Chains A and B, each alone.
Chain A
Amino acid sequence: MLRTLTAVLLWLLVSAASAQDAARTTDELKSLDQEVQALKKEVLDLNRELFVLEEELLFPANTQVAVFVSMDVGEFFALDSVTLKIDNKEVANYLYTEREAQALLKGAVHRVYVGNLKAGEHELIAIFTGKGPHARDYRRGATVKLEKGVGAKYVELKISDRAVRAQPEFIVKQWE
Chain B
Amino acid sequence: MRYVLPLVLLLASGSGWSAPSDLVGQPAADFALRSLSHDNIRLSEQVGEVVLLNFWATWCGPCRQEMPLLEEIYQKYRRAGLVLLSVNIDEDAAQAAEMARTLGVSYPVLMDSRHEVAKAYQIGVMPVTVLIDRAGTIRYVSEGFKPGYESRYTDKLRELLNE
Q: In the complex, how many residue pairs between chain A and chain B have their CB atoms under 8 Å apart?
A: 21
Contact partners of B39 in chain A: CB under 8 A: 97-98
Is chain B's binding surface mostly helix, strand, loop or mixed? Answer: strand
Asked whether any CB of chain B lies closer than 8 Å to the CB of A72, the reply is no
Contact residues in A for B32 (Cβ distance below 8 Å) = 94-97
Number of contact residues on B: which range applies? under 10
* A77-115 CB contacts (< 8 Å) to partner B: 80-81, 94-100
Shortest Cβ distance from residue B117 to the other chain A in the assembled complex, whole angstroms: 12
Q: How many residues of A contact B (CB 8 A)?
A: 9
**In the complex, what's the smallest C-beta–C-beta distance from A95 to chain B, in angstroms?**
4
Query: Is the Cβ of A95 less than 8 Å from the Cβ of B45?
Result: no
Cβ-closest chain A residue relative to B44: A97
In the complex, A98→B41 CA distance in Å?
Answer: 8
Of all chain A residues, the one with the shortest Cβ separation from B42 is A97
Distance from A12 Cβ to chain B, minimum over Cβ atoms (Å): 52
Q: Specify which of B40, B41, B45 lies most central, judged by the most chain A CB atoms within 10 Å of its CB.
A: B40
Report the Cα distance A44→B68, complex, angstroms. Answer: 47
Q: Does B105 contact A (CB under 8 A)?
A: no
Within 8 A of B (CB), among A27-57: none
Query: A95-B32, A97-B32, A97-B39 known; 9 other A-B pairs, CB under 8 Å?
Result: A81-B40, A95-B34, A95-B42, A96-B32, A96-B40, A97-B41, A97-B45, A99-B42, A100-B42
Which 3 A-B residue pairings sit nearest by Cβ, starting from the closest?
A: A95-B40, A95-B32, A97-B42
